[in-house]
Structure formats: C-alpha cells, structure tokens
Amino acid sequence: MPALFVLIWSTGFIVARYGMPYSPPMKFLLVRYLLSIACFLPWIFLAKVKWPTHRVQWLHLAVTGVFMHAGYLGGVWAAVKAGMGSGLSSLIVGLQPVLTAFWLSSLGGQISRRQWLGLVTGFIGLVMVVSRKFGQGGEADWVNMAFAVGALFSITIGTLYQKRFVLTCDVRTANTVQLMAAALVTLPLALLESESMHWNNGLAGAMAWSVLALTLGGSSLLYLLIQRGAAASVTSLMYLVPPSTALLAWLLFSEPITVITIAGTLLTALGVSLVVRPASRTV
C-alpha cells in the first residue's frame, strides 16, 4: 500500500503535463472538482456517512479546501502550464514537510541544530536543481517559480490550518466539502481563461485519472495509511515523490536527469528528513 500511494501521488505532476496541451489549468481543475464531487456524493449516500454537524466545521473544511485544493493544485498546474517540468515542480512542492515542521517548531520555540542543518541542506539541494534550469532554454523562470512556490505555501498553510481547526470526520464528507469550496474559488478564474478545453482521448484519460486515481484513490489510500497507525511514516513517504516523479517524467517526456539533479534531489530529501524526524521515539 505505501508503494502504491507514492506511485499514485507522483502521477499528479505527470497528469498536469498530459493535460496542458488540451486545456487551460483552471478549467481542467474545475471539471476535476465537479466530477470528484459527483463521485463522492453517491458513495456518501450509499454508505450512509454522516456529514459534519457543526457549521463552523464546514467553514474550517472550506478554508482547507481553498488552500489544499484550489491554491495548491492551481499553483502546480499554472507552473506546469508556464513551462516548468514535472520533476522540478514536484521537488519544490516537496519542501512542504520542511516548512510545516519549521513553523510548528518555531511556535514552540524549539528549533534544534539538527533541524537547522536540515533546512540548510534542503535549501542547498533545491538550489542545485533549480540553478541549472534557469537561463536561456531552461524550464524555470520567475513566473512559473512564483506559481510553484505559491503552491508550496498554500498546501503548507492548509495543512497547518487543518491540524489546528479541523476535527476528525469521515474522509469522504471532508473531501466533498473541501472540493465544493475549491470549485467555488476556481470558477471565476476558469471563466477568465480565454483558452477552451479540447476534448480528446488524451484529455479524457488525464481527467479520468485525476478524478478516480488521484482524488478518490490517492486520498483514500492516505486516509487508510493514517487509520492503520502509519501516520509517522506517511511524511517519510513524501520524500519518495520527487524522485519518483522525476523518473516518470524522464520515461514519459524525456525530461533530463543529470548528476546534479540526482545529487540535489537526494540532498533535499536528506534535509527534509532531518527537519521532520521526531526528536525522540516516545511519541
């Protein structure tokens, strides 16, 4: 199950590359949200799942949906549409555990030397990967970097907000409320896009995978992993997403993998592990 989760999560950045030639990002995401809601609703009805009972919880779920779906996915898709490769976008967003751990540690006033070392190591690794992709003919520029970093901060804020305010509830109803909020925010942005969706087998396949595998399957696997007591290991699984995405991008799109890319990715993963590793094994 962990290996399947990593594989599915990694394909999210690949799907963005497949869908870009045939659809603007916000229109694609809006349709994805609506189709996902249409899948969750009968599932909730047939399983007789209870919805959150308090209005304030609906509000908290809506806020997390705006950040973790509309902001995060919107930023990633906009970055890829602006020319960023799948491997680089996944690496940048993969720094989310570092920001989360750093913020939580700073609130408690306890940032260890190991965590500072991890922050510096992860930053050096990211610079190694990103630096060679700037300049003439490179896939990175200040526009798509802004979108990718925006996605990074959006999912980080959404994660912190959810940890602070969202009570435990069924993952199906929680996802549905989040997707509804994301759809409402994405709708006006989609209407502003002048480009139309051009439906064909490629776009239909990307949409089907996004809805069934990523939204329903990926979220459900993540929920099951946490339910089975693997919450501590879920974060470590995220370290495997950038290299898995880079490998898939190399196989499918011939995105280059150089020695510097490999070294930088490994350094980033090492830095993330140093920051998020528990200080003791008593937790």
How many CB atoms are located within 10 Å of the residue 105 CB?
17
Task: Measure Cα distances from 87 to 126, 144, 241, 245, 258 in Å.
Answer: 12, 13, 9, 5, 12
Identity (one letter) of the amino acid at 30?
L
- Please indicate, yes or no, if residue 223 is contained in any of the structural domains: yes
**pLDDT higher at 105 or 242:** 242
* 218 in any annotated domain: yes
Residue 113: which pLDDT band, with cuts at 50, 70 and 90? Answer: confident
Report d(CA 169, CA 171) in Å as an integer. 6
Give the model's confidence band at 168: pLDDT under 50 very low, under 70 low, under 90 confident, else very high.
Answer: confident
Q: Note the pLDDT of residue 124.
A: 84
Residue 236: what pLDDT?
A: 56
Indicate the pTM of the whole model. 0.83
Specify if 51 maps to a domain. Answer: yes
- The span from the CA of 206 to the CA of 201, in Å, is 9
The answer to whether the beta carbons of residues 268 and 91 sit under 8 Å apart is yes
Residue 126 lies inside a defined structural domain of this protein: no
Percentage above 90 pLDDT, the chain: 36
pLDDT for the residue 231: 40
Q: How far apart are CA 98 and CA 122, in angstroms?
A: 8
- Is residue 275 domain-resident? no
Residues 6+ apart with CB under 8 A from 250: 87, 256, 257
Q: Give pLDDT, residue 279.
A: 61
Q: Tens of pLDDT along 128-166?
A: 777 766 655 567 788 999 999 999 999 889 888 887 888
Tell me the percentage of the chain whose pLDDT exceeds 70. 82
Q: Which of these, 24, 13, 8, 79, lies nearest to 250 by C-alpha position?
A: 13
Q: What is the pLDDT of residue 153?
A: 93
What is the domain count for the chain?
1
Residue 266 domain-assigned (yes or no): no
Which pLDDT band, with edges at 50, 70 and 90, does 122 fall under? Answer: confident
pLDDT at 41: 96
pLDDT of residue 183: 98
pLDDT value of position 149: 93
* Domain range for 21: 2-111+139-234
Q: Six-digit token pair at 115? A: 């965590």
Q: Is residue 119 part of a domain?
A: no
Residue 88 vs residue 199, higher pLDDT = 199
In this prediction, residue 38 carries a pLDDT of: 97
Maximum distance among all alpha carbons in the chain? Answer: 56
Q: Supply the pLDDT for residue 199.
A: 94
The 3-class secondary structure across the chain, one letter per residue, is CHHHHHHHHHHHHHHHHHHCCCCCHHHHHHHHHHHHHHHHHHHHHHHCCCCCCCHHHHHHHHHHHHHHHHHHHHHHHHHHHCCCCHHHHHHHHCCHHHHHHHHHHHHHCCCCHHHHHHHHHHHHHHHHHHHCCCCCCCCCCHHHHHHHHHHHHHHHHHHHHHHHHCCCCCHHHHHHHHHHHHHHHHHHHHHHCCCCCCCCHHHHHHHHHHHHHHHHHHHHHHHHHHHCCCHHHHHHHHCCHHHHHHHHHHHHHCCCCCHHHHHHHHHHHHHHHHHHCCCCCCC
C-alpha to C-alpha distance for 75 and 13, rounded to whole angstroms: 11
Mean pLDDT of the chain: 82
Per residue in 8-66, pLDDT tens?
888 888 888 888 889 999 999 999 999 999 999 999 999 999 999 889 999 999 999 99
Is 117 inside any structural domain?
no
Q: Is it the case that residue 230 has pLDDT exceeding 60?
A: no
